Structure 1
């Protein structure tokens, strides 16, 4: 991490507990829908049995690190991306989703201290595209 006076900030992001919670919530929502559907019994069993397997394989695209330069944001993860202006940004509670040219990336507040993430939140908010 660079000093507070530096125009360059970098933060390494850790693992988050929220994707596991989202998978559990998806099971709680989809399970009753499958049971209440008018599918044959064998199809319900196949879908209910395959649901945990499908959801365990599902991964939210999360970056590994964020680096803020004077006018650009570098996102390192599966693909390294440099953005001068974010496409769309959604921030709700501890969750931040940003649309990049290569897809949506998700950052959760438990991946790094909020004080370290605040400059990135501010940059994304002030540089967002306005329609």
Structure 2
């Protein structure tokens, strides 16, 4: 059943060594092939990522240029000036309305209480005169 002759053992050993060498070569070829495929995939991904990054940078530059464009700045300034003008008009109307309201109330009060108004005005005048006269005398 088992033949352990020197020639038979040498033949078997040589045959096993050749098969081992072939297996090692096949495994090395598969590892090399897989490594090359992986390298190609990484390079493709890097190229795609780089292209996307370049596109994004170009888009950002374009947006920055558009936002800082002189015409756009002039339009923004014009819009701000227009809004400031509207605010100014609103404030002027409010001040004018308040002035007329206070004026009307003062006229009504003077017309309703003319003697009281004259007495209050005289009292205020005397007080101011006294205060100013006291400071000059010192």
- TM-score category of the 2 structures, normalised to the smaller one: under 0.3
Could you say which structure has the higher strand fraction? 1
TM-score (norm 2): 0.20
TM-score (norm 1): 0.20
Higher relative contact order (CA 8 A, sep 6+): 1
Larger radius of gyration: 2
